[in-house]
């Protein structure tokens, strides 16, 4: 995608990328695939340096409505399928270079099955939390309170019911990679529950051959604590205890008791076994010398999920479009982003994907 440059100087830019990818349905013969390649749907490409917020809202609203009602998007007289299930990444945060805020929205569609060797998949992930320990403690306190009262883990607008008994595993790892800013620690709090044991995700499976000797020396397990056969109230109490420790600026696992410092970087995730028999809720954060977050503090929102109906994604796009048209804002989590009247965008589409690149600026703050 071509670079789109911000024309304003003292404004905050907001950048949104939407990527819709389709996959080839299973069971097609090589001859069928070759025939389809010969009759390809023409690609669609459009770019503009200036679009009104009203027109942008209408575009997002239309695309969301088409996905909900027809399972497709129409551009330039051609229709592109957006069906079955998909994976979604949605993040908001400060730009890496210069002032501004960026939003990234990436979606793949047409997913009909899991990879053959897959054991788990991400149902929902809230990441990129660069906050004080006290702020993270509030999130955990709310998570535990909701679990105790409603019997479900609730992360933003995502919810999963607690069932059966749970196993909780807490881990504390030390990392001291040379030249990377001193000593860091990673804490994990895993709650696993369901009809069967939660399988170890492939990307977390230990493989001694995958690491060089010096890399293994950089990472050291300081503590690990496992408790089984816990009901929802017991898990809620553990979350409350973790929250109180963080408010006090501490992390405790077994005999290890460490100060968190002023800032931590972490998130929450919900993973499911591919057969749907078990779940894992993971709380994780990193802390230590030289806080992970050195960027200015700004509103940030990030989430990721997989295996969701495309109509749900269409509803999200439609809502964002309507909000831009009616209020000139976008509500993401607990943050509301205001937008100016003009934006810059480009749009591309083909039989294998659909993409929008968008940037607009926030109006100056009222004095």
User: Could you state, in order of their start, the residue ranges of all structural domains in the chain?
Assistant: 12-100+310-362, 120-297
pLDDT at 6 (0 to 100): 32
C-beta of residue 87 within 8 angstroms of C-beta of residue 242: no
* pTM, 2 dp: 0.62
C-beta of residue 187 within 8 angstroms of C-beta of residue 284: yes
DSSP 8-state code for residue 204: G
Which residues, in sequence order, are bridge partners of residue 124? 270
Q: How far is Cα 83 from Cα 107, in angstroms, rounded to an integer?
A: 12
Q: How far is Cα 82 from Cα 80, in angstroms, rounded to an integer?
A: 7
* Alpha-helical runs (H) found in the chain: 30-38, 53-70, 133-150, 213-218, 232-247, 310-327
Q: Which residues of the chain are under the pLDDT cut of 50?
A: 1-32, 34-39, 290-297
pLDDT at 4 (0 to 100): 37
pLDDT at 187 (0 to 100): 97
C-beta of residue 314 within 8 angstroms of C-beta of residue 13: no
């Amino acid at each position: 995608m071509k670079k789109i440059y911000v024309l304003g100087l003292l404004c905050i830019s907001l950048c949104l990328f939407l990527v819709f990818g389709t996959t080839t349905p299973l069971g097609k013969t090589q001859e069928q695939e070759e025939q389809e390649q010969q009759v390809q749907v023409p690609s669609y490409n459009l770019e503009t340096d200036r679009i009104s917020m009203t027109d942008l809202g209408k575009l997002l609203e239309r695309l969301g409505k088409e996905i909900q009602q027809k399972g497709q998007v129409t551009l330039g007289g051609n229709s592109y399928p957006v069906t079955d299930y998909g994976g979604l990444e949605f993040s908001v945060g400060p730009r890496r270079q210069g002032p501004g805020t960026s939003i990234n929205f990436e979606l793949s569609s047409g997913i009909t099955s899991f990879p053959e060797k897959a054991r788990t998949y991400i149902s929902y992930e809230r990441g990129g939390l660069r906050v004080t320990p006290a702020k993270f403690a509030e999130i955990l306190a709310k998570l535990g309170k909701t679990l105790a009262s409603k019997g479900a883990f609730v992360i933003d607008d995502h919810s999963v019911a607690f069932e059966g008994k749970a196993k909780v595993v807490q881990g504390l790892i030390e990392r001291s990679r040379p030249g990377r800013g001193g000593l860091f620690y990673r804490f994990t709090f895993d709650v696993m529950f369901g009809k069967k044991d939660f399988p170890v995700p492939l990307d977390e499976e230990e493989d001694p051959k995958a690491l060089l000797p010096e890399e293994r020396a950089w990472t050291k397990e300081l503590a690990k604590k496992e408790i089984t056969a816990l009901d929802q109230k017991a898990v809620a109490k553990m979350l409350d205890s973790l929250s109180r420790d963080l408010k006090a600026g501490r992390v405790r696992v077994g005999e290890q008791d460490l100060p968190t410092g002023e800032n931590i970087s972490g998130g929450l995730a919900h993973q499911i076994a591919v057969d749907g028999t078990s779940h894992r809720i993971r709380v994780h954060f990193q802390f230590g010398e030289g806080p992970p977050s050195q960027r200015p503090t700004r509103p940030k929102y990030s989430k990721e999920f997989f295996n969701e109906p495309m109509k749900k994604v269409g509803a999200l796009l439609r809502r964002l479009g309507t909000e831009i048209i009616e209020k000139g804002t976008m509500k993401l989590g607990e943050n509301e982003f205001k937008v100016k009247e003009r934006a810059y965008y480009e749009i591309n589409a083909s039989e294998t994907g659909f993409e929008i690149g968008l940037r607009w600026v926030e109006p100056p703050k009222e004095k």
